[in-house]
Structure 1
Amino acid sequence: MKTILLITGVLAVLMGLLWIGQGLGYIHWPASSSCSTSGRGHCVGEYWPSSGSC
């Protein structure tokens, strides 16, 4: 159980970092991502890992 929670936590942090990178314009993957073109993508990515909501 501990391993599953650890993997889930790491994946959540990585997803948040991806969203922050897309919102700030550092990451342009995938090309069709809405975070890549919106100016507020970094806001969603910053708070998602700590709030637990999407």
Structure 2
Amino acid sequence: MGQAGKSGWNKSLLDAAHSQFANVIKYVAGKLGKSVVFLDPKGTSQPCWNCLNKVPKELSD
């Protein structure tokens, strides 16, 4: 298996592990009567109006 094949295999394993982790989190939250909201991290920072640097948003914002 070449490097490209290994990279694809590693990504598949990572995706599967992330999916399984998300399922466990949803299950545990459900047992506790809570809900889980997964957010897309794209666009979760905003520019500072004073210095124009990107500043991460808090999840509560």
Q: TM-score, normalised on structure 1?
A: 0.49
Which has more helix, going by share of residues?
A: 1
Which has more strand, going by share of residues?
A: 2
Larger CA Rg, structure 1 vs 2: 2
Q: TM-score, normalised on structure 2?
A: 0.43
Of structures 1 and 2, the one scoring higher in RCO (CA 8 A, sep 6+) is 1
